Amino acid sequence: MSGEPAAILLAAEPDTVLARAIDALGRFPQGHPWVLIGGVAVFLRLGSVTRPTADADAIARSQTDLLRWLDDDEVTTVISGGEVRMTVGEGTVDIDVMDLADDPLPDDVDRRPFALARRGALLSAGIERVIVRDRDGTALADAVIPVATGGALVALKAVAMVRRPHGSHPEKLGSDIHDLVRLTAGLGALTIAGEVAALGAELAGWVAAHVERSFAGPDLRYTLLRLRRLDRSAGALALTDDDVAATAILADAIREAIDDGIR
């Protein structure tokens, strides 16, 4: 139909996590607000697969309601905590559904940015048609799903960089850094900055401060060390130290976008 946004097209092999995840997410309900985040969302925003991923991640306005719908509709194989395992073709895919849980917003400095980033991702989500094709052009998946903006993904990655070392999966810190660098370079610092600023001045200011701290000055060496040690994917190895350091320009771009929004 004329006026509809162009579909996001991605290439993948059959039976990959990406193809299965998009197929499975297309079965999620439209009546329960949720948004795709994580590595699969990063791939969609960049238009290419930049690293391996084992599952998909989503945020739901109400994890309980969404999981109940999926369970009642019998489209899942297993629901354990917030993790959904769905059958796709001859295999399965895991989708981790996170609860928004932002009412009331926490006051402490550790939890508040995470809650703001989750809320911003859900509220700013874009509805996208996603088509995954194999090398012969055969469609493996075709679904309409809500996807977090590049700016919302950067905010979530920035928060994860702070929280991850103290969480249950510290090894994922490398992919968080990788994704943040790729999003900034691939979509452009000005685009990302505008989308981050649109999430609200409080969160945007926090992201700018974290980006400056992590990608400029003495903390850059720790960022590089964590990336090199924890993400050994071909995409991460292709990033030079200068590529990573260039992400620092995002901090000033976000602050300028905040100022533009206030004026």
pLDDT tens for 92-123 read 999 999 999 888 899 988 899 999 999 999 99
Q: Are residues 131 and 6 in the same domain?
A: yes
Give me the domain span that covers residue 197. 150-263
Q: Are residues 156 and 94 in the same domain?
A: no
Last residue of a domain, one of 148, 165, 192: 148
pLDDT category of residue 171 using cuts at 50, 70 and 90: confident
Q: Are residues 194 and 81 in the same domain?
A: no
pTM above 0.75, yes or no: yes
If one counts the domains in the chain, the total is 2
Return d(Cα 73, Cα 93) in angstroms, integer.
Answer: 17
User: In the prediction, which pLDDT does 164 show?
Assistant: 76
Last residue of a domain, one of 117, 148, 179: 148
Q: Are residues 163 and 234 in the same domain?
A: yes
User: In the prediction, which pLDDT does 75 show?
Assistant: 73
Q: Are residues 144 and 154 in the same domain?
A: no
The sheet with strand 8-11 has its strands ordered as 8-11, 126-133, 139-147, 34-37, 56-60, 91-99, 83-88, 78-80
Torsion angle defined by CA atoms of residues 223, 114, 37 and 71, in that order, rounded to the nearest 10 degrees: 140
Q: Are residues 107 and 143 in the same domain?
A: yes
User: In the prediction, which pLDDT does 2 show?
Assistant: 46
Q: Are residues 139 and 194 in the same domain?
A: no
Q: Are residues 82 and 163 in the same domain?
A: no
Q: Are residues 164 and 132 in the same domain?
A: no
SS3 content of the chain, % helix, strand, coil (to 5): 55, 20, 30
pLDDT category of residue 22 using cuts at 50, 70 and 90: very high
User: In the prediction, which pLDDT does 89 show?
Assistant: 85
Q: Are residues 64 and 176 in the same domain?
A: no
Average of per-residue pLDDT values in the chain: 92
Please report the sign of the dihedral spanned by the C-alpha atoms of residue 11, residue 12, residue 18, residue 21.
positive
Q: What is the mean pLDDT of residues 50-55?
A: 93
Helix axis angle for 173-187 and 38-46, nearest 10°, is: 20
pLDDT tens for 186-237 read 999 999 999 999 999 999 999 999 999 999 988 999 999 999 999 999 999 9
Last residue of a domain, one of 123, 148, 173: 148
